């Protein structure tokens, strides 16, 4: 036991330097990463329109749920395998990496075929069988904070993945349950500098699930970057009013474009920056 904390391998005491690894040309943990895309993959037109837009913005990571953990069993549950196939196709056509949520251990080999980063959602942060299974893969895991979990429990969940052999963990603060009902969750931005003290792992923020309110996404994104986050995961939709899930918190495409300009300015005063200056990808028409 090297650390006084219950977690070991993910602790700063174990490893003082920041963990970094490269996905789709972005050195995560060193450069800022921006993941954007719809809450759920809905159809070809939607995912191709969004992926084309993301590539034009020089964004390198696309999110999109194919298996959706919905509070109600009557809500849209996702396109499942068909959604993963569609997203891979759209991502490949535009040079994007795919981030999608996996909910159960029996889908690991399917996801391994289609995604570049496994997303573990808030409801599965303590699905230890899933964490152990993902520890045996060689792709990064985006580990959301459980909505009722302490930072220590979250780091122990990360410890499951790292101790099983996969060091490529990205923590993601997505808001916690409090008495407040005006926002969907309470986005705990103090977790960013605290995690930076306690762990060497990269940490990003999800202001979409974190607030549930479209108008709050841009200010909380700015605050997250200012507080030292290593990136953001943001929901965006070509027609938010028609979205099959989380439309109220999804940005319009032009809002994301404006947000990138704002974030580029804020990031410039931090050590880390977004690489949105490189030439835009040429999309064949």
SS3 178: coil
**Is 212 one of the binding residues for ligand PEP (CB under 6 A)?**
no
What mask, x for binding Mn ion by CB under 5 A, covers residues 26 to 45?
A: -------------x------
What mask, x for binding Mn ion by CB under 5 A, covers residues 241 to 270?
A: -----x------------------------
Minimum distance from residue 39 beta carbon to Mn ion (Å):
3
Q: Where are the alpha helices (DSSP H) in 142-274?
A: 151-163, 191-198, 207-211, 214-226, 253-268
**Is 218 one of the binding residues for Mn ion (CB under 5 A)?**
no
Per CB under 6 A, which of residues 215..274 are in contact with ligand PEP? none
Q: Where are the alpha helices (DSSP H) in 28-150?
A: 44-56, 81-93, 108-114, 128-135
CA-derived radius of gyration, the chain: 17
Q: How far is CA 49 from CA 145, 193, 248, in A?
A: 30, 36, 19
Cβ-based nearer residue to ligand PEP, 42 or 206: 206
**Is 46 one of the binding residues for ligand PEP (CB under 6 A)?**
no
Per CB under 6 A, which of residues 187..206 are in contact with ligand PEP? 206
Chain-centre distance of CA 66, in angstroms? 15
Residue closest to ligand PEP (Cβ): 121
Minimum distance from residue 206 beta carbon to Mn ion (Å):
9
**Is 209 one of the binding residues for ligand PEP (CB under 6 A)?**
yes
Per CB under 6 A, which of residues 62..91 are in contact with ligand PEP? 65, 69
Minimum distance from residue 171 beta carbon to ligand PEP (Å):
12
Tokens 């997203």 identify what position?
A: 87
* Residue 225, C-beta contacts closer than 8 angstroms, at least 6 positions apart: 32, 232, 263, 266, 267, 270
Report what 29 binds from Mn ion, ligand PEP, none; CB cut-off 5-8 Å by kind.
none
**Structure-token pair, residue 192:** 């960013």
Asked if 183 contacts 147 with a C-beta cutoff of 8 angstroms, the reply is no
Residues in a beta bridge with 233: 35
Candidate list 88, 107, 168, 174; residue touching ligand PEP; CB under 6 A: 174
Beta strand 21-23 with 26-28: parallel, antiparallel or unpaired? Answer: antiparallel
Candidate list 39, 155, 161, 263; residue touching ligand PEP; CB under 6 A: 39
Total residues at the site for ligand PEP (CB under 6 A)?
9
**Is 121 one of the binding residues for ligand PEP (CB under 6 A)?**
yes
The footprint of ligand PEP (CB under 6 A) covers 39, 65, 69, 121-122, 144, 174, 206, 209
């Amino acid at each position: 036991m090297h650390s006084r904390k219950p977690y070991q391998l993910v602790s700063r005491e174990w490893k003082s330097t920041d963990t970094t690894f490269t996905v789709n040309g972005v050195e995560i943990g060193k450069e800022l990463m921006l993941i954007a895309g719809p809450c759920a993959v809905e159809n070809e037109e939607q995912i191709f329109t969004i992926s084309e837009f993301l590539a034009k913005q020089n964004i390198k990571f696309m999110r999109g749920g194919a298996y959706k953990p919905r509070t109600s069993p009557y809500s849209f549950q996702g396109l499942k395998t068909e959604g993963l196939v569609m997203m891979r196709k759209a991502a490949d056509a535009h040079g994007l990496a795919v981030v999608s949520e996996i909910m159960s251990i029996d889908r690991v080999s399917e996801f391994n075929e289609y995604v570049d980063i496994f997303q573990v959602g808030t409801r599965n942060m303590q699905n230890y069988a899933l964490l152990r299974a993902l520890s045996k893969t060689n792709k990064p895991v985006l580990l959301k904070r459980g909505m009722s979990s302490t930072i220590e429990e979250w780091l122990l969940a990360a410890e499951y993945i790292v101790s099983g052999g996969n060091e490529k963990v990205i923590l993601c603060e997505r808001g916690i349950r409090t008495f407040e009902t005006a926002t969907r969750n309470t986005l705990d931005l103090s977790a960013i500098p605290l995690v930076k003290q306690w762990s060497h792992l990269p940490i990003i923020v999800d202001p979409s699930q974190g607030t549930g309110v479209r108008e709050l996404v841009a200010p909380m994104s700015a605050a997250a970057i200012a507080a030292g986050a290593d990136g953001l995961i943001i929901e965006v939709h070509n027609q938010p009013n028609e979205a099959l899930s989380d439309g109220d918190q999804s940005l319009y495409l032009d809002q994301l474009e404006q947000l990138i300009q704002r974030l580029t300015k804020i990031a410039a005063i931090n050590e880390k920056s977004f690489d949105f200056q490189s030439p835009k990808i040429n999309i064949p028409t």
